[in-house]
Amino acid sequence: DTEVTQTPKHLVMGMTNKKSLKCEQHMGHRAMYWYKQKAKKPPELMFVYSYEKLSINESVPSRFSPECPNSSLLNLHLHALQPEDSALYLCASSHPGDQPQHFGDGTRLSIL
Amino acid sequence: EDKVVQSPLSLVVHEGDTVTLNCSYEVTNFRSLLWYKQEKKAPTFLFMLTSSGIEKKSGRLSSILDKKELFSILNITATQTGDSAVYLCAVDLSGGTYKYIFGTGTRLKVLA
């Protein structure tokens, strides 16, 4: 088990559904990240929040909408996803600055 | 374009062997290089290297960075089946972006 908790662990949804992924950490980290990982590929950065403000959006389609309600929580709202969005979605957190990122176990998302 | 390249892509060894994994990089603003181990879920942090020539060691694993030649190696001695995983190298870009560039990973399989 990691110190970054992601829920749900698995999610299957249709292309017209709306769902949310949740990430929580209690390490006092002020930077939080969403990554997408396809099979046999490295993680690809999607979004970075620093001190609850969005600091990086890697040109992610608007059907993915991040939200950082407080310093411990990070959500990823999903709407009208495509089959190619099926992947492992990883959340990470770190102290801003020269500190390693710590990853959650991810949510395995399947789009039907 | 920022780039991180790992070699070999995959490796099969027997228990007790020593392995060396390679990571080379070309980035505009280097802050640190990190090694992660990924089994089925979360990448777990192994090492962070910022200074050239200083070896980091943890049990049977060790790593060193050469900032002049722009590469790092990860050594695993006396391998065990539990070392089977994908080993990811990431470069942390400086400038307050908190952005990692990941290599493609090396898939290591240790046979009993």
Which long-range contacts (C-beta less than 8 Å, at least 24 apart) are formed by B26-31? B26/B2, B26/B70, B27/B2, B27/B3, B27/B91, B27/B93, B27/B101, B28/B2, B28/B93, B29/B93, B29/B94, B29/B95, B30/B67, B30/B91, B30/B92, B30/B93, B30/B94, B31/A98, B31/B91, B31/B92, B31/B93, B31/B94
Picking from A42, A94, A106, the nearest residue to B42 by CB comes out as A106
pLDDT at B26: 95
Beta bridge partners of A7: A22
How much is the average pLDDT of B19-46?
94
**Per-residue pLDDT reduced to its tens digit, A64-97:** 999 999 999 999 999 999 999 999 999 999 987 7
Q: ∠ CA(A36), CA(B57), CA(B107), 5° rounding?
A: 40
Percentage of chain A beyond pLDDT 90 is 82
> Do you find a cis peptide bond into B8, omega within 30 degrees of 0?
yes
Rg value, chain A, Cα? 13
> Which residues in chain A have Cβ-Cβ distances shorter than 8 Å to B88?
42-43
Whether the per-residue pLDDT at A51 is higher than 60: the answer is: yes
Calculate how close chain A gets to B68, using CA atoms only, in Å. Answer: 20
Query: Percent of chain A, pLDDT > 70?
Result: 98
Nearest CA-CA distance, residue B108 and chain A, Å: 13
More confident residue, A44 or B51: A44
Give the whole-angstrom CA distance, residue A76 versus residue A95. 20
Q: Smallest Cβ distance to A42: which of B44, B50, B105?
A: B105
- pLDDT on residue B101: 92
Q: How far is A16 from chain B (nearest CA, A)?
A: 27
Q: Residue A26 above 60 pLDDT? A: yes
Identify all chain A residues contacting B45, using CB atoms and an 8 Å cutoff: 100-102
Rounded to an integer, what is the distance from CA B22 to the centroid of its chain? 7
Using one digit for the tens of pLDDT, what is the confidence trace for B42-76?
Answer: 999 999 999 888 899 999 999 999 989 999 999 99
